[in-house]
Structure 1
Amino acid sequence: MIRKLTLKDHENVLSYLREEPSINLFIIGDLEAFGYDSDFQEVWAEFDESNEINAVLLRFYQSFIPYAKGEFDIGSFVSIMKEFKQPISTSGKTALIDKFEQFEELKLGKKQVTFFAECRTDEYLGTTDLEIKKAGFDEVDQIIRLRRTIEEFHVKDDAREILVKAMESNTARTYYTEENGISSCVSTAAENSQSVMIVGVCTRKENRRQGLATAIMQKLFKDVLDEGKTLCLFYDNPEAGRIYKRLGFKDIGMWTMYR
């Protein structure tokens, strides 16, 4: 049986998701921040014969994140997803997202497969004398403009709206350095009670190779770890991967995004 979840299901679904808290940080973060009654977010679950959760599907705007530990009724999830305006975005564990590729009725976008890594220790973090600031709403437009200059980034039309909403709900923060405007910045996303996703690591072309992003990450990572949370991130660039691993990250799986 598949049904849409409500606030009454909150503790039950969180208990299920927290068995893999890093993998599920987006779903956990969105449920903690936006709940079950918003117009831009919905969540469904498949239940087995014992009324135990077997799989979960989250919709956040036009993006879907499925999660399951084993076999589930993928056809029913596809039926939900195809009711929304196509193309849609979807992401999740690579082995799980691979199962959706056979359904032609889903108009999936460009595919990207990345490593998924996490960090639980600050023992590899250094310090910096650079002045690193925390962004407020006044810096949002600068952040979006800088992200749009990065070829590898896919900045959507609603990126500003999503960033503002995330900052309002305390599920995102951005630290930055400044030199005639923002010269480098690093952001979080999907912050929840247990984990944080690192996103938007970017530096202006004229300010690269100065160690700015690394310095920002050291400051941001230390602050997050001091709050008792796990750091998570995606990467597909081997050079970036080496930097993250020097800062204490370890690979825990593969993640696929269609957008």
Structure 2
Amino acid sequence: MIRKLTDQDHHQVLSFLSEEPSINLFIIGDLEVFGYDSEFQEIWAEFAEQNTIKAVLLRFHHSFIPYAKGEFDTEGFVSIMKQYNQPLPLSGKSDIIEKFEAFPELALGKKQVTFFAECLSDECLSADDVEFKKATIDDVDQIIELRSSIEEFNVRSDARDILFQAMESNTTRTYYTVENDVMTACVSTTAENSMSAMIVGVCTRKEYRRKGLATAIMQKLFKDVLDEGKTLCLFYDNPAAGRIYKRLGFKDIGLWTMYR
């Protein structure tokens, strides 16, 4: 049986999702911030006969994220998704998303697969005396400007509004270095919730690279988040970046597929 969830289901669905807090950080974060009554967010669950949750499907605006621990009613979830405008942005663990690829009636857009890594301990982190600052809303424009200067980054036109909203809802934080009033490197979290946080936006201005700035502030941010009892996670598809993250304590836990 599949039904839409309400506030009364929050404890049960959070218990279901918390067994893999990194994989589910987007769903957990969206539920904690926006709840069950928002017009742009809905969540459904498939229940087993014992009234235990088998799988969930979150809609956030036009995007969908499914999660399951075993076999689930993919066709039932597809019938829900088909009611919304297509193409449908869809993301999740690759082995789960593969089940939706069997339904040609879903227009899923462009596919991207990345590694998904998790860090649970600060044992690989080291202290560094690099001076850094924690960003406030007043720093949003500088953060966007720095990210936009990075060739590898694809900064969306609404990136400023998204970052502003995330800062207001305390679902992101950014640490950065500065020299002569210029932001030289920064690293951010996104989708922060009570259990986990994702690392994004690791970048250094071109003329300040190879000084260890990004690595230094990453370690400071990682330690602060871990000290709060949260797990850290991130996506990567660059092997060189992956090696850096693994030296800092990250381990691959699977593949993540995104359709945009």
Matches within 5 A, 1:12-161: 12-161=12-161
How far does residue 151 in structure 1 lie from its aligned partner after superposition?
4.1
The CA distance in 2 between the partners of 1:27 and 1:201, in whole Å, is: 23
Change over 3 Å in CA distance of 1:206–1:105 after alignment to 2? farther
Distance 1:18 1:142, change over 3 A: same
Offset from partner CA, 1:186-230 (integer Å, 9 cap, x none)? 111111112111111122222222211101101101111111111
- Partner deviation per Cα, 1:89-126 (whole Å, 9 max, x = no partner): 21111111111122233222322211111111112112
8 Å CA contact 2:59–2:65 kept in 1: the answer is yes
Structure 1 range deviating more: 143-152 or 23-32: 143-152
Equivalent residue number for residue 245 of structure 1: 246
Q: Structure 2 vs 1, CA of residues 237 and 194 (structure 1 numbering), >3 Å: closer, same or farther?
A: same
Identical columns (%): 75
Aligned-CA RMSD value:
1.7
Which residue matches 1:214? 215
Greater shift, 172-181 or 89-98, is seen at 172-181
Take 2:143 and 2:135, find their aligned partners in 1: how far apart are those partners? 9
The equivalent of 2:11 in structure 1 is: 11
CA distance in 1: counterparts of 2:57 and 2:127, whole angstroms? 40
In the comparison of the two structures, how many residue pairs are matched? 259
Structure 2 unpaired stretches of 5+: none
Q: Return the letter of the residue paired with 1:109.
A: G
What is the match of residue 186 of structure 2?
A: 185
TM-score by length of 1: 0.93
**How many Å separate the matches in 1 of 2:151 and 2:106?**
26
Task: Letter of the 2:199 partner, please give it.
Answer: I
Quick check: 91-100 or 31-40, which moved more?
31-40
- What corresponds to 1:228 in structure 2? 229
Unaligned 5+ runs, structure 1: none
Letter in structure 1 aligned against 2:243: R
Distance (whole Å) between structure 1 residues aligned to residue 150 and residue 89 of structure 2: 20
Tell me if the contact between 2:117 and 2:235 (Cα under 8 Å) persists in the aligned partners.
yes
The CA distance in 2 between the partners of 1:26 and 1:38, in whole Å, is: 16
3-state SS of the aligned residue for 1:102?
coil
Match of 2:101, SS state, is helix
TM-score of the two chains, using structure 2 as the length reference:
0.93
Q: Distance in 2 between matches of 1:151 and 1:74?
A: 38
Q: Deviations over 1:58-115 (max 9, x none)?
A: 1122221100111111122122223333223211111111111222332223222111
Task: State the SS of the aligned residue for 1:239.
Answer: helix
Amino acid at match of 1:56: V
Structure 1 residue identity aligned to 2:69: K
Amino acid at match of 1:70: G
The whole-number CA distance in structure 1 between the counterparts of 2:148 and 2:39 is: 27
Distance 1:54-1:175 versus aligned 2 partners, 3 A rule = same
Partner amino acid, structure 1, of 2:131: E
